[in-house]
Chains A and B, each alone.
Chain A
Amino acid sequence: MIQTTELVATGITKAFPGVRALDAVDVSFKAGEVTALMGENGAGKSTLLKILNGDYIADAGTITLGGRRAAFSSPSDARRAGLRVIAQEPEVAPYVTVAENMYLGRYPSHLGFVSQKEMKRDAAKDLERLGFAELLDPAAIGVTLSPAQRQLLEIVRALIDDPQVICFDEPTSSLSDHEIDVLFGCIGRLRDQGRAIAYVSHRLREVFQIADSVTVLRDGKLVGNRRVEGLSEEDIIQMMVGRDLSNMHQRTPHEPGPVRLRLINVTTDDVRDISLEVRAREIVALAGLVGAGRTELALAIAGDRPIRSGTLEVDGQVLKSKTPEQAIERGVGLAPEERKAMALVMIRTVKDNIVLAMLKRISRLGFVSDAKEKVLAAEQIERLNIRTPTMRQRVENLSGGNQQKVVLGRWLASNSRVLVLDEPTRGVDVGAKAEIYRIIDQLAASGVAVLVISSELPEVLGLADRIVVMENGRTTGELSRAEATEEKVLALAMAGQLQTTARRSRETR
């Protein structure tokens, strides 16, 4: 018999320090339907899934599952109630079989002894039932699986105990067309069996292919829920971006100077054929969706990832750096995306962190000049208005915005001529954001070439003189400040998907 369990969430609100991630959001996932959940990076999709899953507790709002009140305090609670959220990043135990991975934590056992034979048999049966038998071998070892197979394994694992509500979070990012077809076949069957399915994806064509309705979030608020019939791609993009631009970005226009940073057909392990240039006194934004290869490109410019082909020029001279040390000597600085993990020595002082990249220049015969480092640190604390009681305060005791200023101070102190800023305002409150925008603007004015990576469209539009858009490891276009709109940037960021829409749309429906 067909069970009908739908999930209804009403008034879901969740705030993090400085950010309202979700604001009274109502969503429902109906039984026997696929609901696409869409929105830009940071719109609140992941937060919503985490609340449904019991990873986060909502500040307000109610969730009902099949008419009954549901408030899960952990993912295992949610699983027991019949709801599964399938993670974007597969967790596969590396040195055991696919079968063991499938039943991880619930091996079939008798008196504590696990029966390998029984497990393999069950695994084969379950794979057959779900339609993945030809793609996954129950005896294969975790490490030998391709990224696509790992993703499918994660999906299979979630589907084994027949959840009533299933949320897929960008399941196709590592899958090829054939595997996507198999997955969609499986999703179609689940829908026909009356399961309620939520499907998060940035790929518009998939939405038209698989979804019955589309729910769009923007800045933590629900924009709307519409049936897919009669909708166009432009309608969805419009729903995703149509927001008023608050005016916190002040840009003083500067006459761009000579080219400081030039990339010619740069190819690394992660990006292909990137060509772009940034002039002195210019801010160029690198826009795109998460995973487009922007961070990897930034690391390559900073000398931390090898450049396989193409050339990188700084101030007109080819830079062939094998280590960040060499790039820094030529005046290239990188403020990486993960501030705490990659940029700051949290248990050291503000002063030590500011001077870290230029110890060589303030040392004589290997001895660090105490006077020089104090002057340098004091200069940056003053100039960037870093709020710290003393320069001997440990960086871990500062707020996110002030920590980011310490990172910027490090590169200002070293007189970097090319600065790559990866998500410079992530985890920073609104007030500090405006301050950081002002600092970036001043940096450009002083003659630095700035390349900003940002996933926030208002930030990209407000800050940049030019915008280069990346998608899937390649550049898909460039827009001037005058011609750029959120719609245009987003269309380029999803360009690969749009081009193939016509050919593939609805062919499986």
Chain B
Amino acid sequence: MPNPVHAPTPTAATPTAGKGGQFMTVVRRLGLENISLVLAITVLALLIGSQNSAFFRSSNIAAIGNYVVIMGLLAVVETVVVIMGGIDISVGSVAGLASVLAGMVYAASWGNWWLSMLIPLAAGLLCGLFNGVVVVFGRITPLIATLATLSGFKGLAQLVSNGRAQGYTGADAVYTFIARGKVLFIPTLVWVLIIVAALIHVLLRYTRVGRDIYAVGGNDTAARLSGVNINRRILFVFVLAGGVAAIAGILITARTGSGQPVSGSQGMEMLAVTGAALGGAALRGGKGSVVSTIFAVILLGVLLNGMTLLGINPFWQNVAQGALLIAAVVIQQLSSGERRVGLPK
């Protein structure tokens, strides 16, 4: 009698050989989340395409791709924060600050493109560090800390720019290459998302830091007693979030041709959190994957693009985003089997 399993919980899919075993193995390899997301994308695309054939035009596909990039970058890094058991809703404001700084530095340095990217990036990292310090040493929960900096960083962006768009990068070769160029038939913008997402995927899956992030999110006491320096990991993750948000901000500048304090970044935190949650990242921490988040972001992009194509009142987009976020989290929480009493933890 080889190794009997002790008391498997009913919700757990214990691997079993035999009937349906192979199918289950395939499902587990790809992940239930990924399969359902791809199915949802397919169904949604067919639905929209049947109503408006413009959906499948390559120009529209590219438009979706470009649209998805900014929110994808933020959603991917939000996934890391969420896996660690935190949340960062200041990413949109950091992107705005970085965007406006890029425009201003470009103008002030007489068209020095690399300086105009380096300084916003440094500013983004500093913003992230500030978030991390407030959380770790100020003992403020991530939601409240980044709610405060959501407002604070946005205010800074408006202060330095007086609330107006800054600089003009639309004539710069590097910025136009980023905004409209292609490499191997794929838009440069999309390449940025692919590279950042791949790097973060490798970080989470194959490095010690990544393992530690999952452990901190799953049980921070256990991680600490096992020798994980959890403060250092938390600071790192917030700094990473700030850095990636700054990259998103620089892309906003490239796309619009000038630094934007709020336009294009405001409200992006909502899409970032929705993308992470829809991709199955557990808001209580310890679980999530970059690949699933990317699928979720594509689903979001297709949905929002489709609503525009079908001529639906754009205000419905906000309602749809909210509904999706609630749906995604409700599904997560109900399947966790928690008792429905009092305020959820």
User: Is the CB–CB distance between A398 and B212 below 8 Å?
Assistant: no
Bitwise, A314-346 to B at CB < 8 A (1) or not (0) is: 000000000111011100001010000111111
> B11: shortest Cβ distance to chain A, in Å?
9
Give the residues in chain A near B206, CB-CB below 8 Å.
367-368, 370
Stretch at the interface among B32-40, B152-160, B219-227: B219-227
Report the nearest A residue to B231, measured CB to CB: A323
Interface residues of B in 1-33 (CB under 8 A from A): 3-9, 12, 14-15
> Which residue among A345, A360, A393 has the maximum number of chain B CB atoms within 10 Å of its CB?
A345
Give the residues in chain A near B3, CB-CB below 8 Å.
387-389
Instruction: Flag whether A410 is at the interface (Cβ < 8 A).
Output: yes
| Of A304, A356, A387, A394, the contact of B12 (CB 8 Å cutoff) | A394
Instruction: Flag whether A480 is at the interface (Cβ < 8 A).
Output: no
Interface residues of A in 32-68 (CB under 8 A from B): none
> A253: shortest Cβ distance to chain B, in Å?
32
Give the residues in chain A near B223, CB-CB below 8 Å.
345, 356
User: Is the CB–CB distance between A348 and B286 below 8 Å?
Assistant: yes
| Of B12, B208, B211, B228, the contact of A397 (CB 8 Å cutoff) | B12
| Of B9, B228, B286, the contact of A325 (CB 8 Å cutoff) | B228
> Which residue among B6, B9, B14, B227 has the maximum number of chain A CB atoms within 10 Å of its CB?
B227
User: Is the CB–CB distance between A352 and B214 below 8 Å?
Assistant: yes
> A433: shortest Cβ distance to chain B, in Å?
14
Instruction: Flag whether A263 is at the interface (Cβ < 8 A).
Output: no
Q: How far is the CA of A356 from the CA of B230 in the complex (A)?
A: 13
Instruction: Flag whether A231 is at the interface (Cβ < 8 A).
Output: no
User: Is the CB–CB distance between B226 and A324 below 8 Å?
Assistant: yes
> A134: shortest Cβ distance to chain B, in Å?
37
Q: How many residues of A contact B (CB 8 A)?
A: 41
Q: A342-B221, A356-B223, A389-B3 are in contact. Are A366 and B208 (CB under 8 A)?
A: yes
User: Is the CB–CB distance between B225 and A342 below 8 Å?
Assistant: yes
Instruction: Flag whether B255 is at the interface (Cβ < 8 A).
Output: no
User: Is the CB–CB distance between B209 and A366 below 8 Å?
Assistant: yes
| Of B215, B226, B287, the contact of A328 (CB 8 Å cutoff) | B226
Report the nearest A residue to B284, measured CB to CB: A347
Bitwise, B134-166 to A at CB < 8 A (1) or not (0) is: 000000000000000000000000000000000
User: Is the CB–CB distance between B227 and A357 below 8 Å?
Assistant: yes
Q: Classify the interface of chain B: helix, strand, loop or mixed.
A: loop
Report the nearest B residue to A399, measured CB to CB: B6
Give the residues in chain B near A352, CB-CB below 8 Å.
211, 214-215
Give the residues in chain A near B286, CB-CB below 8 Å.
345, 347-348
User: Is the CB–CB distance between A359 and B212 below 8 Å?
Assistant: yes
User: Is the CB–CB distance between A397 and B5 below 8 Å?
Assistant: yes
Give the residues in chain A near B215, CB-CB below 8 Å.
345, 348, 352, 356
Instruction: Flag whether A473 is at the interface (Cβ < 8 A).
Output: no
> B342: shortest Cβ distance to chain A, in Å?
14
Instruction: Flag whether A250 is at the interface (Cβ < 8 A).
Output: no
Interface residues of B in 191-232 (CB under 8 A from A): 206-209, 211-212, 214-215, 218-219, 221-229
Give the residues in chain B near A325, CB-CB below 8 Å.
227-229
| Of B12, B207, B212, B221, the contact of A396 (CB 8 Å cutoff) | B12
User: Is the CB–CB distance between B211 and A396 below 8 Å?
Assistant: no
Instruction: Flag whether A401 is at the interface (Cβ < 8 A).
Output: yes
User: Is the CB–CB distance between B221 and A341 below 8 Å?
Assistant: yes
| Of A344, A366, A393, A399, the contact of B7 (CB 8 Å cutoff) | A399
Report the nearest B residue to A381, measured CB to CB: B3
> Which residue among B8, B12, B223, B226 has the maximum number of chain A CB atoms within 10 Å of its CB?
B226
Instruction: Flag whether A363 is at the interface (Cβ < 8 A).
Output: yes
Give the residues in chain B near A304, CB-CB below 8 Å.
224-225
Q: A302-B225, A352-B214, A357-B227 are in contact. Are A389 and B208 (CB under 8 A)?
A: no
Bitwise, A134-156 to B at CB < 8 A (1) or not (0) is: 00000000000000000000000
Query: Given A323-B227, A329-B227, A342-B221, 6 other A-B contacts at CB below 8 A?
Result: A343-B222, A347-B218, A352-B214, A367-B207, A393-B14, A410-B226
Interchain residue pairs with CB less than 8 A apart (29): A323-B227, A323-B229, A324-B227, A325-B227, A325-B229, A329-B227, A341-B219, A342-B219, A343-B225, A344-B219, A345-B223, A345-B286, A348-B214, A352-B214, A356-B215, A356-B223, A359-B208, A363-B207, A363-B208, A366-B208, A366-B209, A368-B206, A368-B211, A387-B3, A387-B4, A387-B6, A388-B5, A389-B5, A393-B14
Q: Which A residues are within 8 Å of any B CB, using their own CB?
A: 302, 304, 323-325, 327-329, 334, 336, 341-348, 352, 356-357, 359-360, 363, 366-368, 370, 387-390, 393-394, 396-399, 401-402, 410
